Amino acid sequence: MTPAELSRTVLRAVRRAVEEDALSAPVPERAAVERTRPGGTGDWASNVALQLAKQAGKAPREVAEAIRVRLVDTPGIAAVDVTGPGFLSITLAGEARDEVVRELLERGIAGDPRLVVPEPPADEVVRLGRDAAVWATLLPGPDLLAQHERNPLFRVRYAYSRTRALGRNASELGFSASYEMAIDAPELIGLLGGYAVEVDAAVRLGAPERLARHLVAVADAFFRFHDTHRVLPLGDEKPSAAHRSRLAVAEAAGTVLAGGLSQLGVSAPDHL
């Protein structure tokens, strides 16, 4: 289930609550969802109940509960909890997470509107080069020229180049990416699913730095995935469904990283 599909699903639950007289409030045009923040529960969160509470004349948690009971049995959703002052915390079923990988492999990233990124000062372009100068307008920091993990731009671009190297190595071994079995990588897959939400928020709020931070999180999660999930077979080992599926996750990560860098006007080199 993609974030856009989940948003429409939450909106349908709101509409049902209104139609069944559990809520008395106008149905909004959209129901925002975002990745659960650190320390939260579930995969996604929505604040739609807090937005409707005043118009409904009810406490936010009461509004959230009216929506929750109409959302919890939806295919692709494993659990819905009401947390904090009235957030809906949504946990996706495993197959719904898996759909994110298949969608990215089959369709790539939709033609999102290009973000408006501040033009870097000319002296910074001369000093850093255009890519690093553009990045510095979004996430200023030291070491933007260093080929080192302290440099977040380097981490993002290196993660992308690593996904490309895995694809080349797999091709030499005679196999390609195919998501044939579920891979236990909820952090990375969740962040990949959140890409479209972050682009939408970055465009709507005029905050391209939000997408830059998301790409750093994707890169860091990819490295953790790479360290714990062996993508390529070793020695005489034959490529298996597990290898093809892990490669699919890696290539989906590469798709998001390349797409995000392009949105920001920064190049994504295959070799680094």
**Domain range annotation of the chain:** 3-92, 96-264
**Cα 53–72–225 angle (5° rounding)?**
105
Class of residue 109 by CB neighbours under 10 A (exposed 0-12, middle 13-18, buried 19+): middle
CATH superfamily of 96-264: Isoleucyl-tRNA Synthetase; Domain 1 (1.10.730.10)
Mean pLDDT along residues 54-77: 93
What span, in angstroms and rounded, lies between the C-alpha atoms of 109 and 140?
A: 27
What pLDDT does 237 receive? 93
What span, in angstroms and rounded, lies between the C-alpha atoms of 211 and 198?
A: 6
Tens digits of residue pLDDT in 211-252: 999 999 999 999 999 999 999 999 899 999 999 999 999 999
Locate 65 and state its tokens: 């509960």
What span, in angstroms and rounded, lies between the C-alpha atoms of 268 and 157?
A: 6
Q: Looking at the predicted structure, is the pLDDT value of residue 145 above 90?
A: no
C-beta of residue 156 within 8 angstroms of C-beta of residue 222: no
pTM: 0.79
What span, in angstroms and rounded, lies between the C-alpha atoms of 27 and 16?
A: 10
Three-class SS state of 21: coil
3-92 classified as CATH 3.40.228.10: no
What span, in angstroms and rounded, lies between the C-alpha atoms of 251 and 23?
A: 44
pLDDT category at 110 given cuts 50, 70, 90 is low
Task: Answer yes or no: same fold for 3-92 and 96-264.
Answer: no
